[in-house]
Amino acid sequence: MDTSNSVEFKEYCLQFYRELNHPYSAEKKIKIDISDLETALDIFDGVLSLDCQEKSLCGLREQFYSAFNSYLTLSRKEIGLLCNSADKLSALIDPFLKKVAFCLMPNKQFATDSGKLVPLWRTSRYVAILESLDIIRAREIEKKGPDYWQKRPADLAILRVGFTARQKGVHESHIFSLDELERIVYNVVGTYLGL
C-alpha cells in the first residue's frame, strides 16, 4: 500500500485544519487540538484502508487520494480541472459514509419510505447515516439559508457545506471562481475529518 498520499494528506490537514474556519461566519473559528486532529486523520485513513468485501466500496482509498492529489497538484489556472477534482472529492463523501456504516454498523437496518428494511450502508439517504452516527439530524442539515448556519458551530456548518457540495458534485457540474473552489474543498475535506 502506497502511504505517500496519506502522508501528504495528513501534512496538508495538519497545516490547514488546526483551526476550523466557519463557512458562514468568519469570526467563529474552532481551535483543534493537534492530538485530536491526528486521531481524526488516523481514523479517516483507517476507514479508507479497511478491507471490504463489498465491491461497491472497494478502491475508495485510491479514488480519494487520486482526487485529492489531482486537486493539490493542478495549476490554479486550470479552473475546469480543479472543479472536476473538487467534484470527485465531494462525490466520494457518500461512499465513504457507506463504508463507515458497512464497517462499523454492518447489522444496522434502515427503513425506506415504503417501509422495507435495508442495511444502513445501502441507503441512498446520506443523512440517515449521519443520524445513525449521532452527528446531525436530517431536519437540521437540510435547513437552508446562511442566517441559520451562521449561528451553528463551525463543525456543523462545515458538514452543511459538504452536504450541499456532494449533491452538486454528484448531480450537477459547476464552474467556480478559485476563491469559491478553495472554500468548497476546504469544507469538503473538513467534512471527511468531522465524520
Domain count for the chain? 1
The sign of the dihedral angle between the CA atoms of 175, 138, 93, 16 is positive
The span from the CA of 170 to the CA of 151, in Å, is 28
Mean residue pLDDT across the chain: 87
- The grid cell for 189 is 475535506
117-119/29-31 β-pairing: unpaired
Q: What range does the domain containing 34 cover?
A: 4-194
What tens digit of pLDDT does each residue of 53-93 get? Answer: 888 888 999 999 999 999 999 998 998 888 888 889 988 99
Instruction: Give 140's Cβ-side CA count (13 Å radius).
Output: 15
Instruction: Check residue 2 and give its pLDDT.
Output: 63
Contact 59, 141 (CB under 8 A): no
* Statement: residue 182 has pLDDT above 70: yes
Q: Buried (b) or exposed (e) across 74-89, using 16+ Cβ within 10 A?
A: eeeeeeeebbbbbbbb
The distance of Cα 1 from the centroid of its chain, to the nearest Å, equals: 22
Query: pLDDT tens digits for 149-174?
Result: 999 988 888 888 888 887 664 445 66
Q: How far apart are CA 180 and CA 82, in angstroms?
A: 11
The Cα 181–Cα 120 span in angstroms is 31
Name the pTM for this structure. 0.86
Q: Which of 156, 107, 157 is nearest to 135 (CA)?
A: 156
State pLDDT tens for residues 91-140.
899 899 999 999 888 889 888 778 889 898 988 887 888 888 888 888 88
Cross-strand bridge partners of residue 20: 30
Distance CA 48, CA 168 (A): 23
